[in-house]
Structure 1
Amino acid sequence: MPADLTHIRQVMDEADCLYPEAEVEAAIARVGEAITAQMADSNPVVFCVMNGGLIFAGKLLTHLRFPLEASYLHATRYRNETRGGDLFWKAKPEISFIDRDVLIIDDILDEGHTLSAIIDFCKHAGAASVRTAVLIDKAHDRKASPGLKADFTGLPCIDRFIFGYGMDYKGYWRNAAGIYAVKGL
């Protein structure tokens, strides 16, 4: 059943803009420079975590100034809801990364259960190393493991429900040009 578009539009109308487009784009460029500095000689396989990582990955890839192989994987805990559940694989990686350096690109490090499961999957499947890049690192003390951090982070974020730049509100507003927080969440 389609969402109530009146509600979906209202969510955007009432949302707080945490980071406007220019700030997000500058953060993506900084992440690209940092990754290039560390991984330019490693011939990595770069995986975009769908669907949330799509916009960040697409924009970030243009800032990576070295040869790489790009692919995707699709694992989720949210399934268009606002709370996560069990990890569900929609598409596992199809490109071989045995004995290769891997870079996982995702939209957000919230609690980190999804990202941790993907990292473990890659390590157990033979990756030489696994690094992570996230656009947003949400600040709170509910991480999947103490001290969990991405190797490369674009922007910190307060502990609210956010959308934009790939992150969604009930399947909508991934296309928002900025990072927004839902009113009251």
Structure 2
Amino acid sequence: MQISEKSYICYPVSQIIRIKDKEFKPYISTSNISLAVAAVAEQINQELKNEDVVFLAVLNGSFMFASDLMKQIQLPCTISFIKLASYHGTSSSGTVNELVGLTEDLTDKTVVIIEDIVDTGNTLEKLTLILNQKKVKQIKVATLLFKPDAYKKNYPVHYAGMKIKNEFVVGYGLDYDGFGRNLKEIYVIV
């Protein structure tokens, strides 16, 4: 697993925000997000340059990361989307439900799963099972944020922008009950 050396990147609290019934403080700045995205893109560009690559973005949370990442990918590739859900409020429900399935042929393709955050690994496990039925060549995982203390599965996380503590975060695609995805920075619950 290749993880950025800049783990647990934080910056000083400048303002507390309220989303519904919870308060959050600034945690990861836009500049640190940009550095993490660039690092992930660079690794992918180097390691997968000779592969037939399909990026698979997990909606809704990965949309900002997927957009910024794809702008820096220099490989011939395609991108597709799947929607899975395992969160209710601020914690994982433990059950992953497939909401939108795949329709394209992935036989013998290298599939890069794009996640906003990998914590318990439940979503990753479900998606890996689905992809293995599609006879893919190999599966790689790219995530902006990785919570190693919460991770319960054995699937490798190949490209992670940052390790973070096992705390609830919002912003940059991550949400609390649907709110906060539009924030350009990442905030942590107070």
TM-score (norm 1): 0.87
Residue aligning to 1:136: 145
RMSD: 1.7
Quick check: 1:111 aligned with 2:125?
Answer: no
Tell me how far apart the structure 2 counterparts of residues 114 and 10 of structure 1 sit (CA, whole Å).
26
Q: 1:82 aligns with which of 90, 95, 107?
A: 90
One of 175, 182, 185 as aligned partner of 1:178: 185
1:91 matched to 2:96? The reply is no
Tell me which residue corresponds to 1:8: 19
Comparing 47-56 with 91-100, greater Cα deviation is found at 91-100
Match of 1:145 in 2: 153
Of 158-167 and 82-91, more deviation after overlay is shown by 82-91
- Checking the alignment, whether the CA contact within 8 Å between 2:18 and 2:24 is kept in structure 1 is no
Partner of 2:66: 57
Q: Match for 2:29: what amino acid?
A: P
Gaps of 5+ in 2: 1-16
SS of equivalent residue, structure 2 residue 92: coil
More helix, by proportion? 1
- Residue 164 (1) aligns with residue 171 (2): yes
Q: Report the counterpart of residue 3 of structure 1 in structure 2.
A: none
Q: Does 1:41 align with 2:50?
A: yes
Identity within the alignment, %: 25
The CA deviation string for residues 18-45 of structure 1, in whole angstroms up to 9 with x for no partner, is: 2100100111011101000011221211
Question: What is the distance in 1 between the residues matched to 2:29 and 2:187?
Answer: 8
Whether the aligned pair in 1 keeps the contact of 2:113 and 2:141 (CA below 8 Å) is yes
Secondary structure of the 2:55 match is strand
Structure 1 gaps of 5+ residues are: 1-5
Deviation at 1:113, TM superposition (A): 0.7
User: Which one has the bigger strand percentage?
Assistant: 2
**Partner-residue secondary structure (3-state), 2:31:** helix
Q: Which residue of 1 aligns with 2:13?
A: none
For the residue of structure 2 that corresponds to 1:30, the secondary structure is helix
